[in-house]
Amino acid sequence: MHKVLVAAGLAVSLSACASTYVGKPYDRAAANVQSIGIADDALPEKATASEVASVGSNFGLVGALANAAIQQSREKAINDALAGAGFDAEARLEQRVITSLDAQGYRAKVEQNAVRQKRVYLASYNSAGDKPDAYLDIVVTNYGYLSAGVGQPWRPTVAATVRLVSASDSSKVLMENQIVYNGMYPQKGVITLSANPEYAFLDREDMLADPARLAGGIEDALNKVADTAVGLLR
C-alpha cells in the first residue's frame, strides 16, 4: 500500500512539473507592421533521420554505438540523395515565407544576417537599405525524417521556433510561438501539425529509391511550417 501511495504521489509530482508552452499572440492592429525582414540562416546544414525505438536500444553502450553508426550512415545517404536532387531546404523555406507574407499583405524580403552559432534566435538583426518595421525569425531546430521504430514508416519531421520582433527595438517581441510537424512527443501549447501520408516511406531503401519524392516530403513539411508561422501574423 505504501508503494502505491508513493507511486501515486510521484505521478502527481511529475504532472505538476509538466509545463504548458505559452506563446505570445500577435496583435496586427496594435503592431502596425507593414514590412518584414526575414532572418537568414534558419536551418541546420543537414537533414536528420532518426529512429525513436531501435533494436540496439536494448543493448546498452554497444547498442547505442551501433545505433549511432547506423544513423550517421543513413543520414549521409539521405543528405547525399537530397543534394543529388538539387534540393536547397533553406531557399525553399525562405521563398515560401516570402510568398505567404505577400499573400497576407506584407512587404517582405530576406535579410543577410551573420551565420548562427547555434539554432537559436539571432541576437541582433541587420538590414541592407531600407529598414523594415519588424523581423521574422524562424529557427528550424530540426528537419528530416522520423520513424517510431523498427518496421514503422518514415515520415518528414520539422521542429521550429518563430518570433516577430520590432526593428526599432529588438527586445520588443510582437509574436512568438513553437511549431512541430510530425513530432514524436507533442507538448501542450505547441502548434502540432500532422504528417502528410503522401510522403511515408517503408525504409531507407524506399527513401533513397526516389530522391525527388524524398525532397518533396521535406519541402511539403517546411511549407506547412512556413504557412503556419505566417498565419500567426494575420
In tens, the pLDDT along 123-150 reads 888 766 689 999 999 999 999 999 988 8
C-alpha grid cell, residue 209: 529509391
Does a structural domain hold residue 27? yes
Does a structural domain hold residue 2? no
pLDDT at residue 45 in the model: 92
Does a structural domain hold residue 190? yes
pTM for the model stands at 0.86
pLDDT tens for 213-223 read: 999 999 999 99
For the chain, how many structural domains are there in total? 1
- Rounded CA-CA distance 209/169 in Å is 49
C-alpha grid cell, residue 171: 527586445
C-alpha grid cell, residue 157: 519531421
pLDDT tens for 98-110 read: 999 999 999 999 9
- Rounded CA-CA distance 28/182 in Å is 29
> Hunting for cell 518496421 — which residue is that?
151
Q: What is the CATH number of the domain that holds 128?
A: 3.40.50
Amino acid identity, position 158: V
Does a structural domain hold residue 57? yes
Domain that holds residue 32: 20-231
Does a structural domain hold residue 7? no
